[in-house]
Structure 1
Amino acid sequence: MSGRPVRIGLQLQPEHADYATIRRTAAEAEALGADAIFIWDHFFPLTGEPEGKHFECWTVLAALAESTSTVQLGPLVSCVGYRNPDLLADMARTVDHISGGRAMLGLGSGWCEKDFTGYGYPFGSDGERLRELAAAIPRVKSRLSNLNPAPAGRLPLLLGGGGEKRTLRLVAEHADIWHAFHDPATIRHKLSVLHKHCADVGRDPAEIEVSTSVSGLAAHEGDPREMGPELRELGVSLFIVGAGGPDFDLGTLRRWIDWRDGTNA
């Protein structure tokens, strides 16, 4: 079990909603006590009407950095194929300053073909996108180390995905947070692989916070008592609830926050 306290995040999925509703939902999540708010990096809705309302990740994050005051903010996750890596680092640094040091930088290789082709980016193969991610991470880190001013806070690097040969190796080499999209049994296995990669690169796996999306994992996703303890036992400390527009029901988020408070007490 992780010695880290439980944290609860909201993945606020900016689909089918007006921006005013997105901003109001972020404010409500912060008032409820959420530790973090994430925005997904897609250009089109993933559910409902394919051409429905949708907003871009980083401009929403910049706006929420002004309208919130306590929650951490970041993309879950930002696709390196959509933006020059040096520019992406600068954007993250800027959001970090706007928020007063509350930004996190989530990176991934992308998977939704429509996002790529709809905006004129080459989709490529899974392997090509992973190689692009591997090449982008050092550029992002180098640019962050040379920006003036430097990031205002720690700006932790989150990497999402469970590819055992490449992605988890990148997590071992670079990440402050590993985000999983898996059930508990799969997370257990992936962690064993991650620990082997950490041993190979000489890194203590305890340095890496384990995060997972809890929405969609089980029929009882709305009741953290059904899955929270098992995930906690595996070392998960950041639990992320998803909510999509147009109305953004935060009932599940409330239940996970209540569970967090009881667990951390």
Structure 2
Amino acid sequence: MSLDLRIFTEPQQGASYDDQLAIAKATEELGFSAFFRSDHYLAMGGDGLPGPTDSWITLAGLARDTETVRLGTLVSSATFRHPGVLAIQVAQVDQMSGGRVELGLGTGWFGAEHAAYGIPFPDKRFGILEEQLAVVTGLWGTPQGETFSHSGKHYTITDSPALPKPAQDRIPVIVGGAGAKRTPALAARFADEYNQGFPEIDSIGPRIKVIEQALSDAGRSTDSMVLSAALVLAVGQDEAEFTRRAAAIGREPAELREHGVAGTVAEAAERLRDLEKAGISRVYLQVLDMQDLDHLDLVAREVRPQLD
């Protein structure tokens, strides 16, 4: 199978560490390549009980409680952590996992969660993201025994020993967004993967052409970047089961069919094949009902074999 399938969750909507561990272990046991989670501190609708869990603390626990599945964020907000601290945290979790970590990093967008927890939320955040990517990758890439410095508008790093080092030679960095020029250029400069988050299906191909042009402008080959998409998952063995799963996450079946990997097993497989034809090589399946582990089993058992 050439299409890489990953499980992506939204724990801020209401999930304990044990809830996340259960789905991460199911992800691993069922042969999906990675367990990813959002990086949010406030529920987007609903009461969010039992409350948010920090993404990198959670991933540190999962690093010890899983064995083979890759782990990461889609995406961490550049407003939440200073880049030097983020570099230390992610490198440490990578060590704890034996080299299974990936970092998705974005500007942040949800103003209400910043207000709820006293986190500054400046109007202009693209420069912050750009410098964070430069600092984080710069710290990781500095040879042991040398120091790293950075002088920018937002951050100054002076003679850092650039420790600890990740277990991997390079932690994969994921950048995404819908910007016409700046975001693709930033991805071409720093990222190993470019992600389209919940795109309109017919916009995926044109967006790939944009990132391919950015790679060419940066002197990179098009095959040096993983091209991925994140889409909501709602699949049923039959129409009744699909309708039940749609209702469980508060979505309309017709809307899910239009925007997600959704419907019957045959429909889900067809959508995934279409994504691959458009140029996508990795799909993050957004699982919103984290208690429904049978959902993952159905995709692994019935949908995935149709992609071979």
What is the alpha-carbon distance in structure 2 between the residues aligned to residue 246 and residue 96 of structure 1? 24
Q: In the alignment, which residue of structure 2 is the partner of 1:156?
A: 172
Residue 88 of structure 2 contacts residue 163 of structure 2 at CA under 8 Å; is this kept in 1?
no
Question: Does residue 167 in structure 1 map to residue 167 in structure 2?
Answer: no
Please identify the structure whose Cα radius of gyration is greater.
Answer: 2
Aligned pairs for 1:165-204 within 5 A: 165-181=181-197, 182-204=199-221
By how many angstroms is 1:261 displaced?
3.9
What is the alpha-carbon distance in structure 2 between the residues aligned to residue 123 and residue 165 of structure 1? 23
By how many angstroms is 1:50 displaced?
5.2
Provide the secondary structure at the position in 2 that maps to 1:45.
Answer: coil
**Which residue of 211, 218, 225 maps to 2:269?**
225
**Which residue of 282, 285, 294 maps to 1:241?**
285
Provide the secondary structure at the position in 1 that maps to 2:125.
Answer: helix
Provide the secondary structure at the position in 1 that maps to 2:167.
Answer: coil
Kindly tell me: are residues 179 and 254 of structure 1, through their superposed partners in 2, closer, same or farther at Cα, counting changes over 3 Å? farther
Question: Does residue 7 in structure 1 map to residue 24 in structure 2?
Answer: no
**Which residue of 111, 127, 130 maps to 1:131?**
127
**Which residue of 67, 85, 98 maps to 1:69?**
67
What is the alpha-carbon distance in structure 1 between the residues aligned to residue 164 and residue 290 of structure 2? 38
Q: Which amino acid aligns with 1:66?
A: R
Provide the secondary structure at the position in 2 that maps to 1:143.
Answer: helix
What is the alpha-carbon distance in structure 1 between the residues aligned to residue 135 and residue 110 of structure 2? 23
Give every structure 1 segment of 4 or more consecutive aligned residues whose post-TM-superposition deviation is greater than 4 Å: none
Q: What TM-score comes out, normalization by structure 1 length? A: 0.89
What is the alpha-carbon distance in structure 2 between the residues aligned to residue 253 and residue 212 of structure 1? 21
By how many angstroms is 1:236 displaced?
1.0
Q: What TM-score comes out, normalization by structure 2 length? A: 0.78
Deviations 1:28-77 (A, max 9, x none): 12111110000110001224225652211111111011111111100110
Provide the secondary structure at the position in 1 that maps to 2:63.
Answer: helix
Provide the secondary structure at the position in 2 that maps to 1:70.
Answer: coil
Kindly tell me: are residues 19 and 193 of structure 1, through their superposed partners in 2, closer, same or farther at Cα, counting changes over 3 Å? same
Relative CO higher for 1 or 2, CA cutoff 8 Å, sep ≥ 6? 1
What is the alpha-carbon distance in structure 2 between the residues aligned to residue 8 and residue 121 of structure 1? 33
What is the alpha-carbon distance in structure 2 between the residues aligned to residue 200 and residue 30 of structure 1? 38
Question: Does residue 89 in structure 1 map to residue 133 in structure 2?
Answer: no
Of residues 242-251 and 17-26 in structure 1, the stretch that sits farther from structure 2 once superposed is: 242-251
Unaligned residue ranges in structure 1 (runs of 5+): none
Deviations 1:175-226 (A, max 9, x none): 1011112133111111111122112111112110011112178416234223
Deviations 1:223-258 (A, max 9, x none): 422311111012211111112356245515742675
Q: Which amino acid aligns with 2:80?
A: Y
Unaligned residue ranges in structure 2 (runs of 5+): 143-161, 234-254
Provide the secondary structure at the position in 2 that maps to 1:236.
Answer: coil
Aligned-residue CA RMSD in angstroms? 2.2
What is the alpha-carbon distance in structure 1 between the residues aligned to residue 118 and residue 51 of structure 2? 20
State the percentage of identical aligned residues.
29
